[in-house]
Structure 1
Amino acid sequence: MTGFARAVATHGGCTITWEIKSVNGKGLEVRFRTPPGFDALELAARDRAKTAFARGSLQAGLTITREASEAGIVIDSDKLQALIDASRPFVERGEASPPAFDGLLAIRGVLKGEDDCADDDREGLEKAVLVTFDEALSALKSARREEGAALSGILSTVLDEITALRDQAADVAAARPEAMRDKFAAKLADLLDGDLPEDRLAQEAAILAVKADIREELDRLTAHIDSARILLDGGSPVGRKLDFLSQEFNREVNTLCSKSGDSELTRIGLALKASVDQFREQIQNVE
């Protein structure tokens, strides 16, 4: 969900520039920085952003400047005189000093220059601002799509790693019942210093095998892997779905680790946790 886009257009001697930066976000959040007098356009621009994107934190900045060839410094004499007249009673009563000319010029709206395009065909200018914003959104979408294409390959590789580890865990699990029976028999023989009836040995080993059975977790893990691949191959926004699916990955792997009774399965479980964590980190970039 990261990206940057810039769109520039001209209208009536004014240059319109939009810059949009996108970073990761669980939902869609759009923040605007606009010149004074253009705040009303934020609602329409926000609706356009919601149509274009589903997730991400966007920061959009708008600047409007008059082209240098037509630029000029203009003093709003009426506003300047109004400020002088408003200050006169305070000066006559000795409550304030006469206002300095440079101080008056520093008041917003008194001195007009290159940035003052707001009064030039206001309706047409606002339409041009929104059209330029659409162009910036389109450019940002292209940038994010390129990032997504690269990210898809990374996620597929991580899923391949999870699949391989899942298969390793299945191989270890297939050999566990017999190994558990032998291990259990050896421990009991040490404790009892004698033979244990075969039927009792088989019963106790079966109970332990049921408690340590991870086939259900492996089956669910396989189903989650298949679901993740289907989502990655789809064209619609899938970030939220993948985020939820990663939690299911983590739940199954945690259960597998808790049932582990030997070092090899524990090693595989920890490797699975590392791969799942990597998957969760990467999908934060997915819309």
Structure 2
Amino acid sequence: MPVYSMTGYASGQHSLAQAAPGQEVKPTAQGRLGLEIRSVNSRFLDLSFRLSEELRQHEPALRELLQARLKRGKVELRAGVESTQPDAVREPAARMLQRLASLQDTVRTWLPDARSLSVADVLRLGTAEEATTTDLGSSLQKVAAQAVEDLVASREREGARLAKMLLGHLKQLRELAEQARPLVPQLVEQQRSRFLERWNEAMGLAEGAASPEAAQDRALTEATAFAIRIDVAEELTRLAAHIDEIERLINKGGEVGKRLDFLIQELHREANTLGSKSAALELTRISVDMKVLIEQMREQVQNIE
């Protein structure tokens, strides 16, 4: 199953034949139904709709269509109908004018101070009512369904790109962990030698106040305590386990964004601990490089569904 990004865009259009006033079959003007969908990352599925007046009744069906295909993301759907002859002014039918006049009289009976309809109001209301297609809802569903498929395909392509980048970062993290693993025994041995040298020097200055065996035991005890403080084997083991799990989830695909986000936080915690236990400049550099890679991964994972 592929990995899906929450970022995507799709659009669609459909030509509409509009009937002239008083006619039901012969189209005299053309309209165009336009729709576009944009999506960005979000913790949950957040849908918003910007529909023209004649399309608002279809919002529930559009919402159901999006919920069936998308699981996460802030998604905005815009749709509207526009005339392909913007300079043409359609004459409202006499039946529509009578209906508007009757409605205006009814309103002003109850609201005497209501403003009378202007010519622009009549043209807008009359055109909106008359400029209906034979099946606008069906056309809208057809365009929306194709746009959603295009959006899913767009999110899949972006998800594949993100997955490739994440796998590349995981490979670099493994290499850094392998560089860090042999450093700790070397540091412990170096520190053990230093402790012994210092104790030998101290014993020489003390002129035999303590036995050589006791001094050596004390030096070894201090070296052991130091080794425990700087031991990062456990952190490297957990780091490797998290890397394996992230790689498994990416290869599995599907809705893995939230789990990946949690694992990235765990990676960051282990890298921080590695840096805090660092007793050598080289180990500090490795920790910093790890945190840079993990932060880049965090930004990418936030876009995965």
Q: How does 1:1-287 map to 2 (within 5 A)?
A: 1-10=6-15, 13=18, 15-65=32-82, 68=85, 72-74=90-92, 76-77=96-97, 78-80=99-101, 82-83=103-104, 86-87=107-108, 99=116, 104-107=118-121, 111-113=125-127, 116=129, 119-121=132-134, 124-185=135-196, 193=205, 197-287=215-305
For 1:109-130, what per-residue CA distance to the aligned partner results, in whole angstroms no more than 9, with x for missing partners? Answer: 85433x5577545xx4223322
For 1:34-87, what per-residue CA distance to the aligned partner results, in whole angstroms no more than 9, with x for missing partners? Answer: 122533432332222122122211110011245649982427423245436755
Task: Identify if the C-alpha distance between structure 1 residues 184 and 105 changes in structure 2 by more than 3 Å, giving closer, same or farther.
Answer: farther
User: AA paired with 2:56?
Assistant: D
Let me know the Cα RMSD of the aligned residues: 3.0
Task: Identify if the C-alpha distance between structure 1 residues 190 and 33 changes in structure 2 by more than 3 Å, giving closer, same or farther.
Answer: farther
Q: Answer yes or no: is the 8 Å Cα contact 1:48–1:134 preserved in 2.
A: yes
Task: Identify if the C-alpha distance between structure 1 residues 108 and 50 changes in structure 2 by more than 3 Å, giving closer, same or farther.
Answer: farther
Task: Identify if the C-alpha distance between structure 1 residues 107 and 250 changes in structure 2 by more than 3 Å, giving closer, same or farther.
Answer: same
List gaps (5 residues or longer) in structure 1. none
User: AA paired with 1:218?
Assistant: L
Q: Answer yes or no: is the 8 Å Cα contact 2:55–2:79 preserved in 1.
A: no
1:279 CA drift (Å) = 0.7
User: AA paired with 2:44?
Assistant: G
For 1:132-181, what per-residue CA distance to the aligned partner results, in whole angstroms no more than 9, with x for missing partners? Answer: 21111100111111112222221111111111111111121231221222
Moved more, 186-195 or 176-185: 186-195
For residues 12 and 195 of structure 2, the distance between their equivalents in structure 1, rounded to whole angstroms, comes to: 71
Q: 2:217 is paired with a residue of what secondary structure? A: helix
For residues 25 and 150 of structure 1, the distance between their equivalents in structure 2, rounded to whole angstroms, comes to: 19
Q: Which of these two proteins has the greater Rg computed from alpha carbons?
A: 2
1:220 CA drift (Å) = 0.7
Query: Larger relative CO (CA 8 A, sep 6+): 1 or 2?
Result: 2
Q: TM-score, normalised by structure 2?
A: 0.78
Q: Answer yes or no: is the 8 Å Cα contact 2:58–2:137 preserved in 1.
A: yes
User: AA paired with 1:112?
Assistant: G
User: AA paired with 2:52?
Assistant: P
Task: Identify if the C-alpha distance between structure 1 residues 182 and 23 changes in structure 2 by more than 3 Å, giving closer, same or farther.
Answer: same
Q: 1:38 is paired with a residue of what secondary structure? A: helix
For residues 242 and 117 of structure 1, the distance between their equivalents in structure 2, rounded to whole angstroms, comes to: 53
Task: Identify if the C-alpha distance between structure 1 residues 63 and 200 changes in structure 2 by more than 3 Å, giving closer, same or farther.
Answer: same
For residues 289 and 234 of structure 2, the distance between their equivalents in structure 1, rounded to whole angstroms, comes to: 19
Identity %: 30
Task: Identify if the C-alpha distance between structure 1 residues 45 and 86 changes in structure 2 by more than 3 Å, giving closer, same or farther.
Answer: closer
List gaps (5 residues or longer) in structure 2. 1-5, 19-30, 207-211
1:206 CA drift (Å) = 0.9
Could you say which residue in structure 1 is the equivalent of 2:27?
none
Q: TM-score, normalised by structure 1?
A: 0.83
For residues 80 and 21 of structure 1, the distance between their equivalents in structure 2, rounded to whole angstroms, comes to: 42
Q: 1:254 is paired with a residue of what secondary structure? A: helix
For residues 145 and 5 of structure 1, the distance between their equivalents in structure 2, rounded to whole angstroms, comes to: 13
Q: 1:142 is paired with a residue of what secondary structure? A: helix
